[in-house]
Amino acid sequence: MDKLRMVGGTPLKGEVTIAGAKNAALPILCACLLTNQPIILRNVPDLQDVRTMLKLLQEIGVTASFPDAGDRSHLVLNASIIKSSEATYEMVKTMRASILVLGPLLARMHSAKVSLPGGCAIGARPVDQHIKGLKAMGAAIKIKSGYIQAEIKPPLERLKGASILTDMITVTGTENLLMAATLATGTTVLENAAREPEVGDLAELLVKMGAKISGIGSDKLIIEGVEQLHGAEHVVIPDRIEAGTFLCAVAAAGGEVLVKNCRPNTLDAVLVKLKDAGLIMEVGPDWIKASMKGRPKAVSFRTSEYPAFPTDMQAQLMAVNAIASGSSTITETIFENRFMHVQELNRLGADIAIEGNTAIVQGEEKLSGAIVMATDLRASASLVIAGLAAQGETQVDRIYHLDRGYDRMEQKLTRLGANIQRIK
């Protein structure tokens, strides 16, 4: 298993270009199942999770081609022939976002068999809302030997529009139901819909494919079903979490970095907290120039659904708090077990205690390098950030977690002057 080894203490300097958003690319790849015509995508990030999703789609029958040799960000998907409507446990257990084929397959093929995703490190992460919504749209669904078996039974010919209010805000739940509704007969109203920018990016693509969607960006999406969807071209939005991760790296390690190809207006809650922490930022339409001198100030925050502070940035800002002056509290309201990075940060000399869903961080002047273990995607990023600020050498094991959501992070950090290497 690959490891990352770094020696902390070097301020970051230079420019970093942000890749396309993982959590936009994953549902957008599944949207190709809704039509038999080609979907042309650009700015697709080259990530482990994207490669996993492409493999799953190809098993279903989708052909994927890269028109520009060597450029995996430009992709053409064609789902004209669907060989199988099944997403096996083997596929789904490596990536929960595989559940996103359920809605499109059901809408296009009128049947789908998708393995229930197992739990994962950060929580149980059930998919009951996905199932509740599809049932409301007329699908016959049974759970059998770990699989969701969904089909449209006569007299129903297709999914039918429905009014759906999810019990909680769910990002992939909204995306699954949104995709299914585009080909249903009649109108679907999704209330309590997720407002994450990645949901909006998927909706923009669906509209280009001929879907009729209103309320994009709001918590109420109204979809008029259509007979069929056609091909389209789309550029995936930049990854706000990758951008926020690099901003936290500057706040922790110091220096001056120009973050390019990002969307500052999708990061408001994060920028407010980083400003409070003392990060100096100049913000342009698609760039942020960040600089940090001296020690960050502790900032308390709580995670919540967009546009509030994103849970996917919680671990990264905790690493900044670990070396900040003062103490802070961090409350995680989305997932029940998203503090796996706390014990690892404490191995680096941090002073963090957990009480229920709140972490209390006493900022330390300095962390000292150690061997630590990544447990999940954003926890890995948190440990890299802490390692860049720690004295001495840090080794982060199991960085396959990091590779799921970041495209060669160590190369980008090396270009910013960090002393970091990947050890095979």
* Residue ranges that bind ligand EPZ, judged by CB under 6 A: 22-23, 26, 97, 123, 125-130, 168, 170-173, 311-312, 334-335, 377-378, 405
Q: Is 405 left (phi over 0), alpha (psi -120 to 50) or beta?
A: alpha
In whole angstroms, the minimum distance from the beta carbon of 1 to ligand EPZ comes to 20
Find the catalytic residue in 30, 120, 248, 262: 120
Does the active-site annotation cover 32?
Answer: no
In whole angstroms, the minimum distance from the beta carbon of 130 to ligand EPZ comes to 5
In whole angstroms, the minimum distance from the beta carbon of 245 to ligand EPZ comes to 10
Nearer to ligand EPZ, 78 or 266 (CB): 266
Q: Nearest to residue 152, comparing CAs of 166, 165, 164, 134?
A: 134
Q: Nearest to residue 190, comparing CAs of 157, 139, 156, 224?
A: 224
CB 85 within 8 A of CB 14: no
Nearer to ligand EPZ, 103 or 363 (CB): 103
Nearer to ligand EPZ, 13 or 263 (CB): 263
* Cβ atoms within 10 Å, residue 42: 14
In whole angstroms, the minimum distance from the beta carbon of 125 to ligand EPZ comes to 4
In whole angstroms, the minimum distance from the beta carbon of 291 to ligand EPZ comes to 27
Nearer to ligand EPZ, 97 or 148 (CB): 97
Nearer to ligand EPZ, 127 or 250 (CB): 127
Nearer to ligand EPZ, 14 or 119 (CB): 119
Bridge pairing between strands 351-355 and 358-362: antiparallel
In whole angstroms, the minimum distance from the beta carbon of 156 to ligand EPZ comes to 23
In whole angstroms, the minimum distance from the beta carbon of 186 to ligand EPZ comes to 23
Nearer to ligand EPZ, 13 or 55 (CB): 55
Residues labelled catalytic:
120
